[in-house]
Structure 1
Amino acid sequence: MDAKETEAMLRGQVAIWQNLFGFADSMALKCAVELGIADIIHSHGRPITLDQIAASINESSSPDIPSLARIMRLLVRRDIFAVHRQLDSGGTLYGLTHSSRWLVTESESNLAPMVTMQNHPLQQAPWHYFAQCIKEGGMPFMKAHGVELWEMASMNPHFNKMFNDSMACTTKIVMQAVVLAYKDGFTSIGSLVDVGGGIGEAIAATVKANPNIRGINFDLPHVVATAPAYPGVEHVSGNMFESIPAADAVFMKWILHDWGDEDCVKILKNCKKAMPEKLGKLIIIEAVLQPEGHELFDDVANIMDLVMFAHVSGGKERTEMEWKNLLAEGGFPRYNIIKIPAPYYIIEAFPN
């Protein structure tokens, strides 16, 4: 091999090593969330020493500071935290970055519950079944646990809360972008039903920004049972495969990507039945895959496609052509795609 080929092979080896140990990044991130490191630094209002971080870790009278230093070293390399040198003593201070600010739990823009959820052993186990499912068929989550994710949530209160909290935190972030980008789209709506709305964060944010809307949060009984009260929002339990409460428009965030095409068509047809025949509107918040795209969130969307494969039956992210075909089959031949600063898009669709 010439020098150029040798260099390329060496870089290829490095890429394999980095991907081989890719889990180390997520485990270090999970550790930081569990220890509340971002919150500790934020509470001081300035960069602080490792000893100060260790002294603020709850439920520990003697934290292992050398091990903490090793965790922080990797997270600094990943730009999750920043290092500042003390000019007088030469010591090291640790501060927040634009990344770790997303882990401060008192912030409205807080992804810490999602870090906890996606790195929980129950969520990690299905990833070990990819090859088996490709060879034999089946769903990784079912292979790992013997039940589907939704059944796990209904029978395990801790898992159910963790899942709902993770959805709620990401909903807050995405809905800020949705409400701003789609403010004109909500003005003509008198009533809006959020299908699979979880504990109601999305519909509550929409109604708060648009008091003209009567909101309906619609989800399974065990989900709605834990939903708090919001002004202008009614919680309704049921099954979207059977029927959906009537409203001027139907809203769905991260619902259709949980299901295969056949199930999605059933849901879409029920959405169409729930809205006025001529003036109804469907508002979907979903990824639109760009397999070769290089924009800010394109890589995240492609990773989320594997999250769907791991956790739900038939779930997947879709390209625009796949959305076009799915919507048409479900009774929505017209659609628009609106880009927002998030890993997802607004897809508005019409039944005529």
Structure 2
Amino acid sequence: MLLVCSINELPESLVRGTHRKWRKLVKDLTIPRRHVMQKLAVTMLNIIDHLHIEVVIENVRKAAFWKEFAREVSQCRDYPDFGRMLLMLQTMILPCYIDNTWLLNNLSTWKDKCQNAQSAGSIETLIEELMDSIFWVKINELWNAPMQPELGLEWKTWRQDAMKLFFSCPSTYVYGNTGPNNVSGSLVVGNEASGRYSKLEICKAEICATPKLSQNNVIEVDFKSYQESIKSQPPCKSYKVEELNTVAGSSESQSLAKTCNWFVDDGSDVKLIQSSQGDIFPKTVRENRVLLYTQNELEGEELTRKLNDKRIRLNGNRKLQQAKGNTAMEEELAALGDVWHHTFSYITSMSLKCAVDLRIPDAIHSHGGAITLPALAVALSVPPSKLPPLRRLMRTLVQTGCFSKRRLSDGGDETYSLTRLSALLVSSNSATVSPFVQGMLHPLLIDSWHSLGRWFRDDADGSPPTPFAADHGKRFFEAVRERREFAAEFNAAMASDSRTVGELLVKHHADVFDGARSMVDVGGCTGALAAIVAEAFPHVKCTVLDLPHVVASVAVDAQTPTNLDFVGGDMFELIPSADLLILKWILHAWNDEESIKILKRCKEAIPCRERGGKVVVIDIVLREEEATESPFFFDMLMMTVSGGIEREEREWKKIFAGAGFSEYKLRDLGVRSLIELYP
């Protein structure tokens, strides 16, 4: 039977465990702000979708501009950032379509509000004001205007990829209509500090599976177009809250009640809809109406087909163990599924490496972004006899998010497309990470993992410091120097990562270089990062410091920036003087004592803080509450191969203090962090 009651009538444990927890999150200014930011980022991208569909401005809608815009929106971290993106929209796209009266009377005030936005509610108000000022009649006249081909599939991919950058936790969001009359949707989560009612609904950060849904099914939560996927599903039932008591007693509710014993919190802070069995599914709360999507409505080909960037896998997942009402057998099967997942996770890595070795991303990119399996086999020079295995490889890579798959509407062959992940593997991409994948999955690094258990049991005096040393009789970097082929591959991997970090720095953290006239990339290898900085800031004298044999292997040519030099030396002995020093992935390779020694040399090489001296450390800061496992995988890699360590913030503090630094600042840089150290 359907349970509909006020929050005050619910069991105390349920109130504490659900509603009060979410009230705290929504009002908090740190944790839940990320959820609000996610919604605002999608709202911004929805505006672009609408403008793109209706072909508003032909001469400015260039692919590169939209790609950069999508990235910038996805990386907004505070409300003024969204205000800045709104200003960009108004300046670059909409001037011809904004009411002149609004321009004269409100534009100046509106711009000030954008620059000083301090809440989600204020951003939503600014969006509404902007969209209300547009001549929709004039836009609608362009409905049949020719669509620019350069933005078709590419914009869709970029938009989804930009969203994936931002959505790091498996929260479930449902968005409203994005038409002219409702650009930002109309969903409700809670009250903002401004007093405005925010238009965001958070269903829950975890999704639990029922036994029926856990049988090797995959359900995708598409943050872009969830409502489009619902259109192909059986129509859902819509009830007003006050009608649910009547419906609850009807025969119609009996089948629904078997799987969905819903309750509705009618409080003003949070509207959360949940099955009494703990099953959480996407739902919409709009105008005091509750749309209930039952289990059958969530199944079907449409949701399974959309396996692009964000998916929730319900296949023996540990979340099944958390679902209420599961039998002991179901919990045991779920645990077995977890064991299988961990046991065979290496197949994910090896399949990815195979894709890079075969250059599958390059083939898809060269084919216009989408390719059929037969065409892919031809492009890869795969013999016809290997076509069935190639299909199985691609099927696995689609399941793991490397590629997306789509069946043509005319019933033709399936086509495979790049996702954000595989786009980073295209070799023509200046920030390609293909060399990094190949370097990190080299057999020399993989083999030592088989010795990990034996190494733990070795308690003899003078035992090897790492499983790698136990296997090879020498430390990792000694082996690298002796094996030229692997050294070249390893250096290419590090250079690939440095280019990625370098582009992130100059595009999104350029203020790090404010006031700097000189920079040294300590342990900068081939100078990939320093070269990007040198090109972006010609006034900064850039130097790469590395061991003499590394510097000697660097080929300096006409493309090398004139403000970039290479110096051979030992960072433990002397570091060239500069305003700014960068240590990217250096300190994690050394123990605390060695790291303190390196940082002391750095402190000697920079001026005082008043004269702009600082050290920038780019490394991992471990946080046990992290949603991603990658930082901890890297810590295990350092322990097994090089003997290094990834540190928690308290461990970093100890090192910084030991080296004599007085202050540091932390910024997120994806899996890693950017740490600014001041003497």
* Shorter-normalised TM range: over 0.9
Output the CA distance in 2 between the equivalents of 1:343 and 1:293: 9
Output the CA distance in 1 between the equivalents of 2:475 and 2:505: 30
Q: Which residue of 2 aligns with 1:258?
A: 589
For residues 87 and 311 of structure 1, do their structure 2 counterparts lie closer, same or farther at Cα, with a shift above 3 Å needed?
Answer: same
User: Relative contact order (C-alpha < 8 Å, sep 6+): which is higher?
Assistant: 1
Counting only pairs closer than 5 Å after superposition, residues 57-96 of structure 1 correspond to structure 2 as: 57-58=380-381, 64-96=386-418
Q: CA deviation at 1:285?
A: 0.6
Q: CA deviation at 1:222?
A: 2.2
Matched, 1:56 2:379: yes
Q: Which residue of 1 aligns with 2:183?
A: none
Q: Which residue of 2 aligns with 1:130?
A: 452
Matched-pair contact (CA < 8 Å) for 1:54–1:63: no
Output the CA distance in 2 between the equivalents of 1:245 and 1:111: 30
Output the CA distance in 2 between the equivalents of 1:106 and 1:63: 30
Q: Which residue of 2 aligns with 1:319?
A: 648
Output the CA distance in 1 between the equivalents of 2:456 and 2:676: 34
Which of residues 299, 307, 311 in structure 1 aligns to 2:629?
A: 299
Q: Which residue of 2 aligns with 1:5?
A: 328
Output the CA distance in 2 between the equivalents of 1:265 and 1:46: 48
1:133 counterpart SS class:
helix
RMSD between aligned alpha carbons?
Answer: 1.8
Matched-pair contact (CA < 8 Å) for 2:621–2:672: yes
Counting only pairs closer than 5 Å after superposition, residues 1-352 of structure 1 correspond to structure 2 as: 3-58=326-381, 64-136=386-458, 138-229=465-556, 230-231=560-561, 232-277=563-608, 279=611, 280-294=613-627, 298-313=628-643, 315-340=644-669, 342-351=670-679
Deviations 1:196-245 (A, max 9, x none): 00100111112222222111100112221222432111100111112211
Q: CA deviation at 1:61?
A: 5.6
Q: CA deviation at 1:7?
A: 2.1
Matched-pair contact (CA < 8 Å) for 1:187–1:212: no
Matched-pair contact (CA < 8 Å) for 1:282–1:348: yes
Matched-pair contact (CA < 8 Å) for 1:192–1:250: yes
2:526 counterpart SS class:
coil
2:542 counterpart SS class:
strand
1:282 counterpart SS class:
strand
Output the CA distance in 1 between the equivalents of 2:485 and 2:385: 27
Please say which of residues 192-201 and 40-49 is displaced more in the overlay. Answer: 40-49
Matched-pair contact (CA < 8 Å) for 2:592–2:655: yes
Q: CA deviation at 1:104?
A: 0.8
Amino acid aligned to 2:671: P
For residues 95 and 183 of structure 1, do their structure 2 counterparts lie closer, same or farther at Cα, with a shift above 3 Å needed?
Answer: closer
Output the CA distance in 2 between the equivalents of 1:164 and 1:44: 30
Q: CA deviation at 1:63?
A: 6.1
Deviations 1:56-114 (A, max 9, x none): 225x6666222212211111111211222133344222222222111111112311111
For residues 46 and 187 of structure 1, do their structure 2 counterparts lie closer, same or farther at Cα, with a shift above 3 Å needed?
Answer: closer
1:83 counterpart SS class:
strand
Output the CA distance in 1 between the equivalents of 2:452 and 2:512: 40
- Which structure would you say has the larger Rg? 2
Matched-pair contact (CA < 8 Å) for 2:600–2:660: yes
Structure 1 unaligned segments of length 5 or more: list them. none
Output the CA distance in 2 between the equivalents of 1:305 and 1:75: 26
Q: Between the two proteins, what is the percent identity of the paired residues?
A: 37
Output the CA distance in 2 between the equivalents of 1:193 and 1:73: 46
Q: CA deviation at 1:277?
A: 4.6
Q: TM-score, normalised by structure 2?
A: 0.49
Amino acid aligned to 1:241: F
Output the CA distance in 1 between the equivalents of 2:586 and 2:532: 18
Q: CA deviation at 1:268?
A: 0.9
Amino acid aligned to 2:647: R
Q: CA deviation at 1:347?
A: 0.5
1:194 counterpart SS class:
strand
Amino acid aligned to 1:95: S
Q: TM-score, normalised by structure 1?
A: 0.92
2:500 counterpart SS class:
helix
Q: CA deviation at 1:131?
A: 1.8
For residues 146 and 63 of structure 1, do their structure 2 counterparts lie closer, same or farther at Cα, with a shift above 3 Å needed?
Answer: farther
Amino acid aligned to 1:292: E
Output the CA distance in 1 between the equivalents of 2:586 and 2:508: 20
1:64 counterpart SS class:
helix
Please say which of residues 243-252 and 28-37 is displaced more in the overlay. Answer: 243-252
2:327 counterpart SS class:
helix
For residues 350 and 3 of structure 1, do their structure 2 counterparts lie closer, same or farther at Cα, with a shift above 3 Å needed?
Answer: closer
Q: CA deviation at 1:165?
A: 0.9
Amino acid aligned to 1:119: L
Output the CA distance in 2 between the equivalents of 1:11 and 1:265: 46
Matched-pair contact (CA < 8 Å) for 1:178–1:346: no
Amino acid aligned to 2:445: Q
Aligned pairs, how many?
344
Deviations 1:313-341 (A, max 9, x none): 2x11111111111111012131111223x
For residues 87 and 338 of structure 1, do their structure 2 counterparts lie closer, same or farther at Cα, with a shift above 3 Å needed?
Answer: closer
Please say which of residues 163-172 and 45-54 is displaced more in the overlay. Answer: 45-54
Deviations 1:251-274 (A, max 9, x none): 100000111111101111111122
Structure 2 unaligned segments of length 5 or more: list them. 1-324
Please say which of residues 60-69 and 329-338 is displaced more in the overlay. Answer: 60-69
Amino acid aligned to 1:310: T
1:104 counterpart SS class:
coil
Output the CA distance in 2 between the equivalents of 1:250 and 1:54: 47
Output the CA distance in 2 between the equivalents of 1:72 and 1:108: 25
